Structure 1
Amino acid sequence: MSDKTTLLAKTTHLQTLLTHFKTSLTTTTTPPPSLPATTSPNPLPLLRDASHLLKAQTTKLGLLLLNEPFTPSAVIKVLSACEAQPLPAIMGALELCHSDIWGGMMAREVRLRVDVLLGAFGEILVDVVRKAEGGIVGVVEGERGRGKTLASTGLVWGACDGLIELWEMGVVGLTVQKVEGFRGMIVDAIGELKEWGEDEEDLDEGFGGSEGDGGEEDRDDFEDMFSAANKLPSHRRDLRDLLDETLRVLRLVDMLYKAVAKRRIKTFPVKTPPLEDEAARVQVKTLDGVVALLKSIPESVDDLANAFYELDAEDATSILTKITTDAKAAATAVEKSWTNTADEFTTWRSKFEEALSKKAGKEGEKPKETMILPFRSN
């Protein structure tokens, strides 16, 4: 059997293995109960080390594909090393990253990034097949192949860096990053809704004075039809009042995200070895619960904005109530510190709920005038 034939067989085998790995990503696994900590090492350093190794092997592989003469035996050696070490190590680390130990956020992110890595490595295997089967190619085809190999190598590097980043961030860093992203969506929505509600010049100065009956009513209908998605119709006082209340509530919710990130997520007690005692798992469950609420609120805010754009005051009111309820639930879930003691956030949470429940006055209320974030102490 020639080296090229052996290389194609090895590549096909690895492609099948990657397919199996990707299929396993959709399978939910349940961690064994109450195993000693020594049986479950931290998966993040394992992901880091395996990713560094795969990145190095991919660099070798890319150089072998780019440089002449093409040496199938050398490529086989690199592929065998990838199959023997980094790929199974990455999948093993994935199996260790159970949600009840490392948190749902980290478990999902590891799974997602491993999926990206497997797809990227699959691309460079396609390049191996192309090179092995290509024989002598023209200059143009050769340059295209080089570009494809460079791109595939870059994809693997990026995917490896993504897994290494998880080790650098850890559970706390990743969760803070996600929560800040959720908060960013709320801040964007505040800006968009504020702009939508700003007063504008008359759409057509002469429209309301046209001949015929019902001129003012016709004008209102015109605004409803053509301005809803861009501006709040001037005659919808009910929506104006509701929008003012919505902006007040969303500014308070924005403060909640800052407070939870600072006083609860950044102080989350990540332990080494992994969180396998029952008390620690309860803390992980609490963290997952509050993050789920913080994730759902921007989704509700998006629905709320759509309700405003559709001029549906009833639906907007209902969604705003849900946002308020979820915000209170998130604050209550982490009312006390991770050592189950009252602190500055505990006091702030009571004031937050009081402010959230209080209706705005005629001019509205700015949260910063009545609320001080619990950031003074570390």
Structure 2
Amino acid sequence: MADRLHRLLATTLALSEQFQSTLSTTPASSSSQPEEKDSKNAGPAPLPLLSASATALKAQVTKLSLLAINAPFTPSAVNSVLSAVNDSVLPSLLTAALLVTDAAYTKSFRAEVHALVKTLLKELSGLVGEVKNVADKKDRENKGGRKEEELPAPEKDSVVGATGRVWDACDMVVEIAGKGVVGFVIKRVEEWRDLVKDAIGELEEWDPADDDDDDWDNLLNGDGEDGGDDDKSENDEDEDEEETAALNEHKKTALRALKPISAMYPAIISNRLKKGGLEISPDVLLPSSHLRALETLMADLQSIPEHIDEAAGSLYEADIRKSTSYLRKAKGRAVKVVESLVLPWTAEGAGAETPEEDKFSVWSKTWLKVIEEVTPALDEKGK
């Protein structure tokens, strides 16, 4: 019985490592799943299978953990759990993950699913390693003819901690499977929205007149002890005042541009992702045109906080020209996004009608007008 247990433990570890390698080496551009599926001949729906597999794994590792930390240690019971994991749960988990392809679910969603499943497999290996340590210890006790002892608290804690990490990984897989592609996009857009809001808050608090760097430079140069400020020329002071005034003016320009950009994110989430023509059920595949649009939308929305971060960093370094360039890029991407979403999403296929304008359509036209009015300093002629 002990030999069979060790074989099963070794098999679980081997499968986990092999499946992680499979997910890592699967071509990113895999298009094995056709864009148009015949519902009668379609295979298992990947996301429900993914969720069910992760849920089943969580239940099995819970039993495995309890069997490992509680006396008496029963190899036959542990064997039963490991057999279920090896023969059914792990193969189903891998199958579901591999069915999530770029062509059917977008590259970003596929990459996230594969990364989460690999993390789950890694954490499972950690737990199985802890169980193996317990099994080895029990073997030594049995071979030595000693009475089985209660597992020490530190060893119990190691098993429980590893189990908790597997639970967390399972929950993350279940969550993304339940949200589907659109839910995944919404979560990402919310994260980028928060980055923009944080950048605005930091910029509002920043005061160009607080020049701590100059004070630090003075200390490094040996100034400041004998009233270095008194030796500063009036010309230098005038230049500092001019620079501070210019930085303050550019700060205002930046904030005028960033506030409408910040307002764009929640409007898109509410009116184009949560509603507006997209099917949000994880059981239903989106048309290929929608998937391509979502890929482009995510790329554009992700780039905006990156440009804003560069713009703010350049401003803090008193490089107004560079800051203006990045703000212009952020504004350009934002305008592109809003213009692409003026009309609601439409169903793909022959005979599809052009959608009618809705509340967001009216809002987007106003937004486009406002952002042009508040950012004249970012026009190309202002280079």
TM (norm. structure 1) is 0.82
Q: What residue is the counterpart of 1:85 in the other structure?
A: 88
Cα distance in structure 2, aligned partners of 1:187 and 1:246: 13
The sequence identity of aligned pairs, in percent, is 30
- Please say if residues 190 and 265 of structure 2, whose CA atoms lie closer than 8 Å, have aligned partners that are also in contact: yes
Return the match for 1:335 from 324, 338, 342.
Answer: 342
The aligned amino acid for 2:4 is T
What residue in structure 1 maps to residue 252 of structure 2? 244
Partner of residue 225, structure 1: none
Q: Which residue of the partner structure matches residue 376 of structure 1?
A: none
Among 272, 282, 298, which residue is 1:264 paired with? 272
Note if contact 1:55-1:160 (Cα within 8 Å) is conserved in structure 2: yes
In structure 1, C-alpha distance between the alignment counterparts of 2:68 and 2:263, rounded to whole Å: 53
CA distance in 2, matches of 1:57, 1:159: 14
Q: CA separation of 1:110/1:32 partners in 2, compared to 1, >3 Å: closer, same or farther?
A: closer
- 1:269, 1:338 within 8 Å by CA — same for their partners in 2? no
Does 1:344 find its partner at 2:347? no
**Cα deviation digits, residues 250-299 of structure 1 (max 9, x gap):** 111111101111110112224686326xxx11012112211221111112
Paired residues of 1:61 and 1:75 also in contact (CA < 8 A): yes
Q: What residue identity is the alignment partner of 1:110?
A: V
SS in structure 1 opposite 2:343?
coil
**Alpha carbons 1:22, 1:118 under 8 Å: kept:** yes
Identify which range, 329-338 or 38-47, moves more after superposition: 38-47
1:138-185 Cα shifts (integer Å, max 9, x gaps): 999822110010011111111111122224333333322221111001
Question: Could you tell me how far apart the structure 1 residues matched to 2:61 and 2:162 are?
Answer: 9
Are 1:76 and 2:79 an aligned pair? yes
Deviates more, 1:78-87 or 1:168-177: 168-177
Match of 1:36 among 12, 35, 38: 38
Offset at residue 186 of structure 1 (A) = 0.5
1:55-74 C-alpha deviation (Å, 9 max, x unpaired): 11111100111012222222
| Equivalent pair of 2:314/2:322 in contact (CA under 8 Å) | yes
Within 5 A, what are the aligned runs for 1:210-221? Answer: 210-211=230-231, 214-217=233-236
Contact 2:23–2:98 under 8 Å retained in 1: no
Q: Please tell me whether the aligned partners of residues 328 and 353 of structure 1 are also in contact (alpha carbons under 8 angstroms).
A: yes
Q: What does residue 12 of structure 1 align with?
A: 10
Deviation at 1:101, TM superposition (A): 2.1
Uncovered stretches (5+) of structure 2, i.e. residues with no partner: 216-223, 347-353, 378-383
Check conservation: 2:116, 2:169, Cα contact below 8 A.
Answer: yes
Distance in 2 between the 1:178 and 1:264 partners?
Answer: 14
2:309 aligned residue: 302
Q: Is the 8 A contact 1:40 1:96 kept in 2?
A: no
- 2:325 pairs, out of 308, 312, 318, with 318
Q: Whole-Å Cα distance in 2 between the matches of residues 219 and 153 of structure 1?
A: 65
Superposed CA deviations along residues 192-244 of structure 1, whole A, max 9, x for unmatched, are 01111376599999968614x624516967xxxxxxxxxxx873332222211
CA distances 1:123-147 after superposition (whole Å, capped 9, x unpaired):
1111122112223499998221100
Q: Relative to 1, partners in 2 of residues 1:154 and 1:14: Cα closer, same or farther, differing over 3 Å?
A: same
1:11 is matched by which residue type in structure 2? L
**Aligned ranges for residues 190-209 of structure 1 at < 5 Å?**
190-197=200-207
| Contact 1:286–1:334 (CA under 8 A) maintained in structure 2 | no
> What is aligned with 1:354?
369
Would you say how many aligned residue pairs link Structure 1 and Structure 2? 345
Secondary structure of 2:206's counterpart equals: helix
In 2, Cα distance between equivalents of 1:25 and 1:219? 62
TM-score by length of 2: 0.81
CA distances 1:29-53 after superposition (whole Å, capped 9, x unpaired): 3224344234244322112211221
Could you tell me which residue of structure 2 aligns to residue 116 of structure 1? Answer: 119
| Letter in structure 1 aligned against 2:115 | L
Residue from 146, 151, 174 that aligns with 2:161: 151
Alignment-mate amino acid for residue 250 of structure 1: L
1:282-330: per-residue Cα shift (whole Å, max 9, x none)? 0121122112211111122222221112211121111111101110111
In structure 1, distance between residues paired with 2:333 and 2:150: 59
2: CA distance, partners of 1:143 / 1:271: 45
Unaligned segments of structure 1, at least 5 residues: 222-232, 363-378
Note closer, same or farther for the CA distance 1:7–1:187 as it changes in structure 2 (3 Å cut). Answer: same
User: Against the structure 1 CA distance between its residues 282 and 7, is the aligned structure 2 distance closer, same or farther, given a 3 Å change threshold?
Assistant: same
2:20 is aligned with 1:22:
yes
Deviates more, 1:51-60 or 1:235-244: 235-244
